[in-house]
Chains A and B, each alone.
Chain A
């Protein structure tokens, strides 16, 4: 493929790259995807697969909600191995302060037409009887969902390939820019547009992109069908996920279709090795057991780690790279890459093809980061 020329080369075959390729191909463009590893093998494979509306910021809300609705629209086409299940999220409130947060969220979501249900303690225990005693309530967001990310990425990539996309995996990309993508074996592909969707590797390929690896751990249990029915997240999660420094853990449990439970979550900066960190793992599991004492009776069958690509302001980078008309970013999704993949692809492809996106792309442009720095 030495002299191959494409409309677009997407660098990175994770869920974001797959979604971008699918969207470009769906609009009739000639697309190639390159990745040093296999489809959905990085953060995508390590991720929990929670499709969740979040509201740390207006921009985060806009992209998560838009994406959640796109997943919902795609639902009927997803093959069964994607295990899409609209089980909803329950944000669990442990005290009155967190219950006030439930009402704040409810009000905000209502204003923005996101259905929710405020749960008092009694209703909470009716729908999730295995939560510990003494909780005060929660917020059910019924349109949130879960899925199995590697198969979701594979589905998007297959659809892109059916639309003519060329997939080149197994050869590392060493250089991108000025309409050219160079591989470790010396081959070069040229394209009008290049999308850097390389997750945590984005910063190496485009020096100047500001990303840090944020390590996470997940545990999966044996099968205990019915023990958990919704994705359960403590409201303290927001504090944990949005803190910019230090190690943190939060209660975050997900039911899988198999009856298995995924138990998270942890966040660590500056932990570059992929080995399981026993200290933070113990904290994470203790946190989960604190909310669901019955977990103590269960067998965990596997534990793994992954790295989120975190930007300084916790929003993804989507849009043009200044100084290179061919280069675009779709990276930095931190823990929301699975949720945001579809929305990211839509607004990026709209932007590149000159359509007006359904939600504005401006909050995700690189320029917002530089602006912040100027004013800092």
Chain B
């Protein structure tokens, strides 16, 4: 069985196999990543770090491209309200 890690997505614990991207975990948690300037919810589009649509806040750092970051145990991810 794959090793699991647990992260928090908007305060909700989400457990995923080690090696999962934050973008995948956020999708599993059924959350959009961010809101556009005009207020539309956005999520991963390109999945390869180019489009910047999957930005989330990780721990204290804003605007992280979640598709390029692997989940680590205890990570706190927040997305736009």
Contacts and interface: CB of A to CB of B under 8 A. Distances in A.
A222 B37 contact: no
A298 B55 CA distance: 13
A297 interface: yes
Given A224-B62, A297-B62, A298-B62, 10 more contacts: A222-B55, A222-B62, A222-B63, A223-B62, A223-B63, A224-B63, A258-B37, A297-B61, A298-B63, A299-B63
Interface of A: 222-224, 258, 297-299
A222 B53 CA distance: 13
A152 B70 CA distance: 44
5 contacts: A222-B55, A223-B63, A224-B62, A224-B63, A297-B62
Interface in B37-64: 37, 55, 61-63
Nearest to A258: B37
Contacts of A222: 55, 62-63
Contacts of A299: 63
A224 B61 CA distance: 10
Contacts of B61: 297
A298 B61 CA distance: 8
Nearest to A224: B62
Nearest to A259: B62
B68 to A, nearest CB: 12
Contacts of A298: 62-63
Nearest to A225: B62
A223 B55 CA distance: 11
B61 to A, nearest CB: 6
Contacts of A297: 61-62
